[in-house]
Amino acid sequence: MKRSTDNANTPAIDPNTLLRTVIDENPNIILMKDWDGKFLIGNRALANLYGTTPDELVGKDDGAFNPNTEQVAFFLQNVREVMSQSETQVVMEESTNAATGEVSYYQSIKKPLITREGKRQILVIANDVTELKRMQTRLEESERRLRYVLDATGEGVWDWNIATGVVTHNSRWCEITGLDSQHMEHPLDLFSALLHEDDKGAVMQRLQKCMRGEGVYRSEHRMRLNNGQVVWVLDRGDVVERDAAGAPVRMVGSFTDISERKANELALGVRTELLNAIFQLSPDGFVSFDSEMRVNYASPAFASMTMIDAAALNGVTEEAFSELLSQQCLPTGRFRGVQRLREDAAAGRSVERELIELSVPGHRVVEVGLRLSSSGAVSQILYFRDVTHETEVDQMKSDFLSTAAHELRTPMASIYGFAEVLLTQELDEDNRKEFTGIIFRQSELMASILNELLDLARIEARRGKDFVFDAVSVPTLVDAVVRGFKLPEERSAPRVLLVGAPMEVFGDTKKLQQALLNVLSNAYKYSPQGGDVCLTMEVTVRTSRSMVAIRIADQGIGLTSAQSQRVGERFYRADASGKVPGTGLGMSIVKEIIGLHGGELELTSGLGSGTVVTLWLPIHP
């Protein structure tokens, strides 16, 4: 191990003082007890919980601070049980705050120790999981309410584990398909066998399209029951879990008996009346356009969802409709316009769902989609689905990510190991400095990962709600980033080229600077042998609209095609050797920021021939 060559006159760091500082600054509770449950050491987090100081803890047991006698008795019994064994245990505990009486929950790691004199002691590291437990309770309550709603609406529910091929249902699904409760869990083959022979191929194709990420699964089809009866069902679902490679792992959905509706359709024979009935009953909103791209129908659900008078929309052009709907949206979630949706659909581009945020009471988040029609009466249909609840679920996922990021504050194994060596072994001054330096560098890296994880979680959770949008001069933006960038030693500043007249975009200056700085930093990090870094700005036409292109080109190590496709994945780093510093989160943050500005991230690269990253942003009108 290489020893430090720092100046011998530099004051030595007292290892005990350093260790005490690490313990006290740790957000987790850290303590040691003897066989009688008396504290040998306790950090500031424990002292704060008990309303005292770390020094006052020593020599006292929990009963001196905790008014809950049952908890105190449990703590003593449990630590003695652990000390009587030789293995580290993980225990779920609760503790009462001496000042407020509030109960907190902890996941405690308890390691038994024996001193040289043979005395039994215990080391405890307790992680506060109160918020996680509360989130779990809220989630369980939410799932319980969902079950009540499903029972009340009479919908069947299915959950398909794609990896195992096993499908799980509720009792209503079995009732619709004429099966008993023994079939609430079965192989996918049973579902396939119940499909009507004339519908089976189309249904399986729809499922495959959804699994490929080409939209949600929705199918109206017939099922032939074991008694020969044929029922019509509305089957809906989507992939809710994918593996690291993007392959579907789990798919869930609902299942409704629509036999009566289909019977009415055949009896009436009037397609328009049937569609009106569906629109009236559907919780989703619909707006249809005639051959001249004027509104000819808006469903009541759409009017209720957007607070726009449906009758007043008849005959309105798609441009006027787009503007009217955009005015009902918040600035951070405006409607892109019908023409943009139609251009995407006509080009066959696979695009993610578009979400708009309505400024109506209740602040609804709505998913908007477009279906083109070849009929003479209807040229296209917009559908609107209230996904406010789904967005709230996504918010819970982001909250969990934030919680998980905070868990990274727990010392890494290496930090613990080197700290233990400093505490328990006699080392010369050089080794002490080297070990302390390792602890500092790894803590610095953990802090960097934590900060970027939290940044990414905030961006995902707020979806640009905290962005401050304004007209931004691109040359000024680039100049500020270049001036503030700290160049590596012996490297020249990037060459900046403006093609054409200065241009503006509509965005958040600080977020755009963050994205551009991440890309510029990568350009230098991944070209360690030197070479020019070039930054170009120009306006060009992309997907039938004028956009600003900010290109950062380097002459570095470059990427393979497979590596290029993974750029933007969290924690993915093309350099697996560890020689290039970084967390693997920078380009994920860039992708999120540019996406929330209505732009795109483009990367072209070749192994050994450098990389060109282009940030596409809509030009400010």
- pLDDT reported for residue 56: 92
Residue type, position 24, single letter:
D
- pLDDT reported for residue 6: 53
Instruction: Look over the chain and give the mean of its residue pLDDT values, rounded to a whole number.
Output: 82
For range 196-215, the mean pLDDT: 93
- pLDDT reported for residue 38: 94
d(CA 159, CA 122) in angstroms, rounded, equals: 45
- Looking at per-residue pLDDT, the higher value among 88 and 581 belongs to 88
* Pick from 220, 216, 252: nearest CA to 235: 220
The order of strands in the sheet holding 217-224 is 185-187, 166-169, 156-161, 248-257, 230-242, 217-224
- pLDDT reported for residue 595: 83
Cβ atoms of residues 514 and 478 within 8 Å:
no
CA torsion 15-20-26-29 (nearest 10°) is 140
- pLDDT reported for residue 9: 62
HEC string of 252-288? Answer: EEEEEECHHHHHHHHHHCCHHHHHHHHHHHCCCEEEE
Which position has the token pair 């996941």? Answer: 107
- pLDDT reported for residue 378: 84
Q: What is the pLDDT of residues 160-172, one digit of tens each?
A: 999 899 998 888 8
- pLDDT reported for residue 570: 66
Angle between helices 586-596 and 509-525 in degrees, nearest 10: 150
- pLDDT reported for residue 594: 85
pTM for the whole thing?
Answer: 0.35
Domain at 134-266: CATH code? 3.30.450.20
Indicate the SS3 state at residue 2: coil
CATH top class, domain 467-618: alpha beta
- pLDDT reported for residue 400: 47
Whole-angstrom CA distances from 318 to 180, 341, 342, 367, 428 are 50, 11, 11, 18, 78
Which pLDDT band, with edges at 50, 70 and 90, does 411 fall under? very low
In the chain, the largest separation of any two C-alpha atoms, in whole Å, equals 97
Domain at 1-128: CATH code? 3.30.450.20
CATH fold of the domain at 286-386: Beta-Lactamase (3.30.450)
d(CA 132, CA 130) in angstroms, rounded, equals: 5
Q: What is the pLDDT of residues 25-40, one digit of tens each?
A: 888 899 999 999 999 9
DSSP for 52-87, please give it. S-HHHHTT--GGGT---HHHHHHHHHHHHHHHTSSS
Cβ atoms of residues 346 and 335 within 8 Å:
no
d(CA 580, CA 530) in angstroms, rounded, equals: 14
> In this model, does residue 617 exceed pLDDT 50?
yes
Q: Give counts: helices (H), strands (E), the chain.
A: 20, 23
- pLDDT reported for residue 268: 65
Indicate the SS3 state at residue 195: strand
**Roughly how many angstroms between the first and final C-alpha of the chain, as a whole number?**
60
> In this model, does residue 448 exceed pLDDT 70?
no
Cβ atoms of residues 516 and 484 within 8 Å:
no
d(CA 442, CA 444) in angstroms, rounded, equals: 5
- pLDDT reported for residue 261: 84
Interior CA angle at 615 toward 610 and 620, to 5°? 155
Which position has the token pair 């001069």? Answer: 473
d(CA 405, CA 409) in angstroms, rounded, equals: 8
For range 371-398, the mean pLDDT: 79
Q: What is the pLDDT of residues 516-556, one digit of tens each?
A: 888 888 888 888 787 888 999 888 888 778 889 899 998 88
Q: What is the pLDDT of residues 74-123, one digit of tens each?
A: 889 988 999 988 889 888 888 777 677 788 888 889 999 998 888 999 99
Strand intervals (E) in 401-485: 470-473
Contacts of 314 (CB under 8 A, 6+ apart): 295, 296, 297, 298
